[in-house]
Amino acid sequence: MANFVAGQDYQVVAKPVKVEKPGKIEVREFFWYGCGHCFALEPHMQGWLKKLPKDIRFVRTPAAMNPLWEQAARAYYVSEALGVRQKAHLQLFHDIHDKQRPILEQAQLAKFYTRYGISEEKFNTTYKSFPISSKIAQAKNLTAQYQLSCVPAVTLNGKYIVQGNDAKVIQVVNYLIEKERKAK
């Protein structure tokens, strides 16, 4: 396995972030649906997820770094809450980037999710709900704790940040997973 270098291939988090399930190695992907680099990384992440080891906890966190990004982040959490995230996640990326559809604002997102059986009214009610607002607050807090200024970003066990949009991200993540396993 290749050796990767801190400060070059990945960043070490100055103040480690507490992970939700300390018994597992947490891998967290920060993304925004409107980001072309996030879209480019997604096939690599999907391939990696198909072989996810049992000691890894994978979490997606939509970045809500500004009001426009927050709308797409809310939509992600709505899709999760209403049980269509698995079906809709890649399709939303595909529609925005491959089909050049500007589906980034609440009204456009509400229309997008109707194809998954969610009425615009149900989408909008859930979008503004307290549970979704709480998840947005958590996402913003994590983004601040990691001091992220751009996406995509993959964090590992609260200690490392890997950025990029190609297969090297997965190679570095796997390297850091092995490093964490050896540290146990």
Say whether pTM exceeds 0.85.
yes
Instruction: Kindly give, in sequence order, each residue whose CB lies less than 8 Å from that of residue 85, ignoring residues fewer than 6 positions away.
Output: 76, 79
Model confidence band, residue 173 (pLDDT cutoffs 50, 70, 90): very high
Model confidence band, residue 183 (pLDDT cutoffs 50, 70, 90): confident
The pLDDT, as a whole number, for residue 1 is 58
For 22-27, what is the mean pLDDT?
A: 91
Closest CA to 146 of 59, 41, 35: 59
**For residue range 58-83, what is the model confidence (pLDDT) as tens digits?**
999 999 999 999 999 999 999 999 99
The pLDDT, as a whole number, for residue 121 is 98
Is 156's pLDDT higher than 90? yes
Is 143's pLDDT higher than 80? yes
Is 46's pLDDT higher than 70? yes
Pair of tokens at residue 28: 């967290």
Beta carbons of 169 and 154 less than 8 angstroms apart: yes
Query: How many CB atoms within 10 Å of residue 131?
Result: 11
For 79-104, what is the mean pLDDT?
A: 94
Helix (H) or strand (E) holding 39: helix 36-49
Helix (H) or strand (E) holding 181: helix 167-183
Alpha helices in 98-166 (DSSP H): 106-113, 120-127, 130-145
Is 2's pLDDT higher than 80? no
Share of the chain above pLDDT 70, in %: 99
Is 153's pLDDT higher than 80? yes
Domains of the chain: 11-183 (3.40.30.10)
The pLDDT, as a whole number, for residue 180 is 94
Is 128's pLDDT higher than 70? yes
Share of the chain above pLDDT 90, in %: 91
What is the sign, positive or negative, of the torsion defined by CA atoms of 84, 86, 88, 89?
positive
Please name every residue paired with 161 in a beta bridge, in sequence order, or none if there are none.
Answer: 11, 155
